Amino acid sequence: MIRAVALVCTLTPSPAPSSTHHLAGQVMAELADLGVQGETIRVADHHIRSGIARDLGEGDDWPRLWEKVMAADIVLLATPIWLGHPASLCQLVLERLNADISETDEEGRQLPYGKVGLVAVVGNEDGAHKVSADLFQGLNDLGFSLPPGAVTYWVGEAQQGTDYQDLDKTPEAVAATTKTLAANAVHLATLLQSTPYPPS
């Protein structure tokens, strides 16, 4: 069984609608169609303290989210674009994951070795390539593996206010990209389960 977790880094807490959550939901639906068991977590609904440690004490919800990340085979980071960058909550997630960058398993491999990293990006101006590049580098530094086409995204026309969640239908290019992302992620996760990385 392949397991996935989506960390949705919209700045908007539940139950308010979110374009980022909407796109993440589409990715998770495609993964589910391929037999993946998944969970979607809106990071803004949790108290994640800033800092570089796995557990920052009382009131810090990160340890529970960290356990879900460690239990997953596929980890999706979903973020809006703010001022040309990933949302601050997305950076916070990467910073908290960075607390374990030097920790290894019994074979000397970083803890996320064998896990597939994916990215979903929404925004109202161009910038998805830049944001995904930032997140790809962070995920790779942490030990995640990236399949071909590891990002799906939607960006609206510059200087207009349409939200992804408000579109009448999902654009064909986005739907096709999301479907390919899911298929490639499951393929890679299956390979990594059967053939782990060698000891470091």
Contact 11, 80 (CB under 8 A): yes
CATH number of the domain residue 67 falls in: 3.40.50.360
How does residue 125 score in pLDDT terms, banded at 50, 70 and 90?
Answer: confident
Nearest alpha-carbon partner for 179 in 118, 115, 128, 124: 118
Is the model's pLDDT at 29 over the cut of 90?
Answer: yes
pLDDT category of residue 142 using cuts at 50, 70 and 90: very high
pLDDT per residue as tens digits for the range 63-108: 999 999 999 999 999 999 999 999 999 999 999 999 989 999 999 9
Cα separation, 93 vs 3, in Å, equals 19
Residue 172 domain-assigned (yes or no): yes
Give, in degrees to the nearest 5, the angle at Cα 66 between 99 and 185.
105
Q: Is 199 domain-assigned? A: no
- Evaluate whether residue 103 is within a structural domain: yes
Classify residue 60: in a domain, yes or no: yes
The predicted model scores a pTM of 0.96
Average pLDDT, the chain: 95
Model confidence over 160-183: pLDDT tens digits?
888 999 999 999 999 999 999 999
In the predicted model, what is the mean pLDDT of residues 108-119? 96
Residue 184 lies in a domain: yes
- Domain span at 177: 3-194
pLDDT of residue 181: 98
Tokens (6 digits) for 86: 């990933």
How large is the average pLDDT for residues 1-15? Answer: 97
53: burial class by Cβ within 10 Å (0-12, 13-18, 19+)?
middle
Q: Identify whether 101 is part of a domain.
A: yes
**CA distance linking residue 72 with residue 117, whole number of Å:** 10
- 200 located within any domain: no
Is there a cis peptide before residue 15, judged by omega within 30 degrees of 0? yes
Residue 49 lies in a domain: yes
Count of structural domains within the chain: 1
